[in-house]
Amino acid sequence: MITKNRLKSLSTVFIFVLIFQWIGIPSSFSADTEKAKEHYNEGIKAKQDGDIESAISAYEAAIKADPDYIDSYINLGAIYFETKEYEKALTMFKKATEKDEKNVTAFANLGRVQYSLQRWVEAETAFKTAISLDGKNSELYRELGKVYYKKRDFPKVIETIVKCHELGGEDDNTYFMLGKGYQNQEKIKEAISAFKKSLELKDSYKAHSALGGIYLGQGKFLSAANEFKAALKANPKGHRAAYNYAIAIQSQNPESYDVNIKAWQDYIKLAKNNPKAKNQVAEAQRVIKDLKEAKEKANLQ
């Protein structure tokens, strides 16, 4: 039998439960999704018009109208990423991943920001999470391969880039990374093939230089010289290629004094104002001195 006091107590509990439930409701019903969409579209328009400040304000307004409107975080984070405000971008993408744990774009962008901040472990985690959500996305494997390349984890570079290529995501840079991976693992034939494929897709300084380095190590001096010359054509200011070109030319024909002297002089012109090349420039000057002396002796004979 329920007494009057017991009934009063139960009524109090029932009222409390109703009040507690009602207090929790406004957080979900206070969101104005339609208003958020309106601000979101304003942000897109402002960004297209090049009005970055207005775009930022619009996306912030969209988030305020509906804190669960994920695309606003992503677009705002993208703006901060473009303007190199990486910590702000990081905040936006982290919030997006927290609110939607299956949002591939949010995790991919989070990885890109972490990569730009040189936080390799965090970038790896973000890209691997994105891949777990979309395992057929070649771009994600490309991005993850770049992380492993920076970490100098070359076995994983090979594994990841091969998967990227299987999914149709090859480009000149993926083949370059693959070549460096194979080279590190002393799979020279595969490395040469990858570097050549990279050059088929884009004529680049780094691929020519890498290929030249392999040929130089193999004693194929003429082939090496040709690659370093091609590297210099791709980047006329590439003093390291000029240095290696001089080595290759001199190694191919040590008694071609004028050709060799010119090659070293050309290197010095490129590198003389570079503090990092100070020792190599001094070495080149000594080599030129020796070559001139050797030429003089040869002419006296």
Instruction: Look up the CATH number of the domain holding residue 262.
Output: 1.25.40.10
Give the pLDDT score at 300.
81
Give the pLDDT score at 30.
54
217 and 126 within one domain: no
Q: Which of 93, 113, 134 is the last residue of a domain?
A: 134
The pLDDT tens digits of the residues spanning 165-174 come to 999 999 999 9
**What average pLDDT score do residues 246-266 get?**
97
Q: Which of 134, 168, 196 is the last residue of a domain?
A: 134
pTM of the model: 0.85
Q: Is the pLDDT of residue 27 over 80?
A: no
Residue 145 lies in a domain: no
Give the pLDDT score at 25.
29
Structural domains in the chain (count): 2
Residue 128 lies in a domain: yes
Q: Give burial (CB, 10 Å; 0-12/13-18/19+) of 125.
A: middle
Give the pLDDT score at 31.
74
Residue 159 lies in a domain: no
Residue 226 lies in a domain: yes
Q: Is the pLDDT of residue 15 over 60?
A: no
Q: Is the pLDDT of residue 12 over 90?
A: no
CB atoms within 10 A of CB 207: 28
- Give the dihedral of Cα atoms 39, 42, 48, 51; nearest 10 deg: -90
Residue 14 lies in a domain: no
CB atoms within 10 A of CB 214: 18
Residue 195 lies in a domain: no
Q: Which of 115, 134, 153 is the last residue of a domain?
A: 134
Phi and psi torsions of 117, nearest 5°: -85, 5
Provide the domain limits for residue 119.
Answer: 37-134
**What average pLDDT score do residues 91-115 get?**
98
Q: Give burial (CB, 10 Å; 0-12/13-18/19+) of 60.
A: middle
220 and 130 within one domain: no
Residue 55 lies in a domain: yes
Q: Is the pLDDT of residue 187 over 90?
A: yes
Residue 109 lies in a domain: yes
